[in-house]
Amino acid sequence: MNSTVDGDVDVAVIGCGTTGLALGRLLELEGLRIAVIDRGRMPMARPRATHVDDETMRAFQTLGVQHLEKTFSLVGTYRHYDSEWRIVMQMAMNRGLTEQGWQSDYMFHQPDFEAVLRGHAHNYAEAGTYFGWEVTGLEDARDRVLVNLREIATRQDRRIRASFVVGCDGARSGVREYMGSTQIDHQATHRSLIVDIIPLVTKDNLPPGRDAFIQGAIRNPLTFTRIAGPRLRFELMLRPDDDSAAFARTEKAYEVLSPWFSPDEYRMLRCDVYEWRSLTASPWRAGRVLLAGDSAHTMPPHLGQGMCSGIRDATNLGWKLGRVVRGDSPIDLLDTYETERRPHVDAYTTLSALLANKIEALVASEEDPPVLRAEALRPRLGPGVRGDTNELAGTLSAQPRTASGRLLDDVVGYRFAVVGDPAVLSGTTDRTKALLESLGTHVLDEFSGEVRDWVTGLGAAAVIVRPDRYLFGAAGNATELDALVATLATTLLPTTVPAS
Ligand SMILES: Cc1cc2nc3c(=O)[nH]c(=O)nc-3n(C[C@H](O)[C@H](O)[C@H](O)COP(=O)(O)OP(=O)(O)OC[C@H]3O[C@@H](n4cnc5c(N)ncnc54)[C@H](O)[C@@H]3O)c2cc1C
């Protein structure tokens, strides 16, 4: 239902980029009343993100948009060249099907993803959708936040009262300003000209298949990638003394593409200059107002992880907001959002900042260029909702297929799950069983094939997986599982539950 009525909602999501739309959908899975608000009447026509990793594809599965996978493309090998087109290094990006249950890396078309999730929000009876509306201000109303809105086309004003507000309003976040958050600068500010095209002719002078390249050690390092389908992206890094306006001219795009295409051989989709910054906001929460996605952290695009990180924010925050709004957990649970997510995203931010600062210095050596195989960065969550007796706690879980051939998350849903040896599960106390039920946990009733191989391969007899697919912890026997569940209950439930 497309609500046009002022009213009360559990969560107002400000900003419908990839982060806000993912969060809105997860809050729908939590059954909350929401408002989703964006200045844009339609999804942004000029996509920024192109790369999706396997963990994010798994999040797309939770969002119920995995059918889009058939429109995605795979990635090939990245070759890094120096100024003389000598290979400095090659990186085979495609690791095939991973333990996440999906391909290691994809290229996607961001507007399709956003369109589908906007449609989901529109279809959700408990959502008010405000597309083409701008948030003009927030006001503290003790246990609520007042959100002031204006429809851009009509100038009419509205006001929503929300229990919580999440600012998914991007790098220039007004919500962040309202909260008084500061930003830590990781010192990697660069500008790039992005030119996207659809070729209208076939060319044999481009890298084969899904391969891509970066040419460094030249005045303006150049990156070429294949986006989903027929789309191609050329990205030219600007020097500090380069004039953005001069680089954003159409003629400049023609010039950049001239070694491969004549201007009459393609449809230009865009030519824009972006400025990349590596910033982390602090704090991410002030009372009932929180930040997620680019409003909380930005990074250069070299790892293709900015959007993926925002989606991780959403999967971490969605279930926590669900519990707090329902009164299943105290509001302090929301503090664990930043303590867990911030060190995790910092791992990507600092590495992409390092790469951004190095790209211009790529020079070939006399030795044969190394052929490297890409590895996934899988940082551990910071302290928060995790059992800390085992180093597996806070790491990303795998997604095996169950005996019936279904992917684990499809069986479990967006909630806690216990996966383990039935003998261990039946050996737990009645109190453990009652706690698991009160926590809404899905106890998987099978332990064979890929599922068993995964758990035993971790050296465990049972694991607790959080709704965002990170491990709460692992247990070797029933007594350890009793203790782990008691810790989980102590962490989540409003009153302290003594371990018995
Ligand atoms: C060229 C480029 C390439 C990139 N490539 C990748 C990649 O391959 N992979 C990857 O993971 N990441 C990539 N990134 C990063 C990625 O695009 C961003 O991290 C991601 O899009 C951020 O999403 P977001 O939803 O947090 O913010 P945004 O997408 O910026 O969304 C914010 C939304 O808030 C709305 N808004 C703001 N203020 C208000 C207001 N007052 N009222 C109403 N609405 C408001 C805006 O209209 C906007 O729709 C790339 C970035 C760029 C620039």
Q: How far apart are CA 295 and CA 291, in angstroms?
A: 6
Helix (H) and strand (E) counts in the chain: 13, 26
Closest C-alpha residue for ligand 1 atom 49: 17
| Angle subtended at Cα 29 by Cα 497 and Cα 151, rounded to the nearest 5 degrees | 120
Query: Is 26 exposed, middle or buried, given 0-12, 13-18 or 19+ CB atoms closer than 10 A?
Result: buried
Closest C-alpha residue for ligand 1 atom 33: 15
Cα 232 to averaged position of ligand 1 atoms, centre (Å) = 20
> Using a 6 Å CB cutoff, which residues line ligand 1?
14-20, 37-40, 48-51, 134-135, 168-170, 174, 194, 274, 293-294, 301, 304-308, 310
Closest C-alpha residue for ligand 1 atom 37: 169
The pLDDT assigned to 495 comes to 75
- Is a pLDDT exceeding 80 seen at residue 1? no
Cα 313 to averaged position of ligand 1 atoms, centre (Å) = 13
Q: How many CA atoms lie within 13 A of 240 on its CB side?
A: 3
Summarised one tens digit per residue, pLDDT across range 139-174 is 999 899 999 999 999 999 999 999 999 999 999 999
Cα 295 to averaged position of ligand 1 atoms, centre (Å) = 9
Tell me the torsion sign for CA atoms 28, 31, 36, 42: positive
Within 10 Å of residue 249's Cβ, how many Cβ atoms? Answer: 13
Cα 395 to averaged position of ligand 1 atoms, centre (Å) = 26
105 CB contacts (<8 Å, ≥6 apart)?
51, 52, 53, 54, 74, 75, 93, 94, 95, 304, 374
The pLDDT assigned to 363 comes to 55
Assign 77 to helix, strand or coil: strand
Which residue carries 């910033």 as its tokens?
279
Cα 40 to averaged position of ligand 1 atoms, centre (Å) = 12
Is residue 331 within 8 Å of 321, Cβ to Cβ? no
Of 21, 26, 38, the residue with max ligand 1 atoms within 8 A of its CB, to mutate for a pocket test, comes to: 38
Cα 307 to averaged position of ligand 1 atoms, centre (Å) = 7
Of 23, 169, 303, the residue with max ligand 1 atoms within 8 A of its CB, to mutate for a pocket test, comes to: 169
Summarised one tens digit per residue, pLDDT across range 79-114 is 999 889 999 888 888 899 999 999 999 999 999 999
Question: pTM of the prediction?
Answer: 0.95
Summarised one tens digit per residue, pLDDT across range 187-232 is 888 899 999 999 999 999 999 999 999 998 889 999 999 999 899 9
DSSP labels, 459-470: T-SEEEE-TTSB
- Kindly list the structural domains of the chain, giving each domain's residue range(s) and its CATH number in brackets, ordered by start: 8-185+278-373 (3.50.50.60), 190-276 (3.30.70.2450), 408-492 (3.40.30.120)
62 CB contacts (<8 Å, ≥6 apart)?
26, 29, 315, 409, 414, 469
Tell me the torsion sign for CA atoms 433, 334, 124, 54: negative
